A and B are shown apart, each in its own frame.
Chain A
Amino acid sequence: QVQLQESGPGLVKPSETLSLTCSVSGGSISTYYWSWIRQPPGKGLEWIGYIYYSGSTNYNSSLKSRVTISVDTSKNQFSLKLSSVTAADTAVYYCARGQLKLSWYFDLWGRGTLVTVSS
Chain B
Amino acid sequence: QSALTQPRSVSGSPGQSVTISCTGASSDVGGYNYVSWYQQHPGRAPKLMIYDVTKRPSGVPDRFSGSKSGNTASLTISGLLAEDEADYYCCSYAGGYTGVFGGGTKLTVL
Contact = CB atoms under 8 A, between A and B. Distances in A.
Interface of A: 37, 43-47, 50, 58, 60-62, 94, 99-100, 103-107, 109-112
Interface of B: 1, 3, 32, 34, 36, 38, 45-48, 51-52, 57, 89, 91-93, 96-104
B51 A105 contact: yes
Given A44-B101, A47-B99, A104-B99, A109 B1 contact: no
Nearest to B32: A104
A61 B45 contact: no
A104 B104 contact: no
A109 B45 contact: yes
A99 B46 CA distance: 15
A44 to B, nearest CB: 4
Contacts of A99: 51
Nearest to B51: A105
